[in-house]
Amino acid sequence: MSSPAEAGSSYDGLRIRALNKSFASFHAVKELDLDVPRGSFFALLGPSGCGKTTTLRMVAGLEAPTSGTITLAGQDITDKKPYQRPVNTVFQNYALFPHLDIFENVAFGLRRRKVSGVEAKVKDMLELVELEAQARKKPAQLSGGQQQRVALARALINEPEVLLLDEPLGALDLKLRRAMQIEIKRIQTEVGLTFIHVTHDQEEAMTMADTVAVMNAGVIEQMGTPSELYENPASTFVANFLGQSNLIEGTVQSSGSDVVTVDMHGIGVTIPAHRAHTDGGKGWIGIRPEKVLIGAAGAELDAPGNTIPGGVVSDVSFFGVSTQYLVKMPWGQELMVFAQNTGRDPIFRTGESVELSWRPEYAFLLDHAQDVKAGAEEAS
């Protein structure tokens, strides 16, 4: 069936190769390569306009690629019509059929494919999403969260090779969103299908997905497990978009096979070689605010890293579980520090002199050519 030239013929997941999409004057997706393993929960994360929804729509067949191929379970589906693909979508605003009741909405795909045993299958599916009692209601009579579950059931019941979720929780309020995140994760584990989840919410992507691909301006910036991305970001965009980062200018002094030594405003700091993502002479030293330790000037800090003296607290925000400090460093930059309120240390006040420190294994080094503020505004 599959020709030998077919790139994805041996791969059983979703494979995207050199995918491009241009609109009139806008290059939405650029030379995208992506492998989504079968059965995984995959998140495409990025700010609005980064090309993630366009990518999803091309997988669904709702948008035709300008160039490139999409293969699914070894079959080239690039030119297939949406109704010919074993792919179903949970749309952003659910797109439930208002003239059909919940039962018929869920049964829609089965009826079009003339599958037998529709009644029993729909009943099972409604049970899975806990909507048995609503079967004869119209979508408009349901709450947002319930409509969301109908949309999920309507797509899931067809047992697609890949289920696409386009910002499925965007219209829900925060509390319901958290509950649905857990619910969708549970269902994915239960049915074992491949899920591709498009979202701009980094917390959502991190809590739900096995693998996250961070997308920006039409390309994938970095891909990995949520903890890999968070702990070892490879670009300033990922460092700023996923959580918050302190990025400090530094000059590389020596690059060994294990560690890279960087001069940071006169202080030598070391960074593990696998966490250094630059070859150049200059770089951005990155450290997450919760990895930074804070202590009174002259105090012994419980860290084997370098101590950076001369900080002055310029802002204190008390959150209860933690305190967020802004500390003005001698070179003029303000660094952010999250300190757990363990009660061991006093809470510093604005104007107090402090020292900062961190364990070298938590720091990372990024390419100085990248915009230090990339991704900071898009993350909200």
Partner 1 sequence: MAESRVAAPADSGRRRGLTAYVLMAPAVIVLGLFFVIPFYSLVAASLYDPGGSDKAGWDVTYHFANYWEAIKLYKGQLLRSLLYGGAATLICLVLGYVLAYAIAFKSGRWKSLLLVLVIVPFFTSFLVRTLSWQLILADDGWVVDALQFVHILGQDDKLLATDFAVIMGLAYNFLPFMVLPLFASIDKIDPRLIEASSDLYSNPITGFFKVTWPLSLPGVVSGTLLTFIPATGDYINAELLGNTETTVIGKVIQLQATNANHPHIAAALSMILMFLIVAMVLVYVRRVGTEELL
Exposed, middle or buried, 245 (CB in 10 Å: 0-12/13-18/19+)?
Answer: buried
Residue 93 or 350 with smaller CB distance to partner 1: 93
CB of 97 to partner 1, least distance (A): 6
Cβ proximity of 20 and 27 under 8 Å: yes
CB of 28 to partner 1, least distance (A): 18
Residue 111 or 373 with smaller CB distance to partner 1: 111
Q: Amino acid identity, residue 197?
A: H
Helices (H), 157-295: 174-191, 202-208, 226-231, 236-241
Q: Name the helix (H) or strand (E) containing 44.
A: strand 41-45
Q: How far apart are CA 322 and CA 231, in angstroms?
A: 20
CB of 90 to partner 1, least distance (A): 10
Residue 40 or 158 with smaller CB distance to partner 1: 158
Calculate ∠ Cα 216-194-197, nearest 5°: 35
Residues lying near partner 1 in the complex (CB under 8 A) are found at 60-62, 81-83, 87-89, 91, 93, 95-99, 108-109, 112-113, 140, 154-155, 158
Residue 40 or 88 with smaller CB distance to partner 1: 88
Cβ proximity of 183 and 168 under 8 Å: no
CB of 114 to partner 1, least distance (A): 10
Residue 99 or 344 with smaller CB distance to partner 1: 99
- Give the distance, in angstroms, between the CA of residue 194 and the centroid of all CA atoms in the same chain: 16
CB of 154 to partner 1, least distance (A): 7
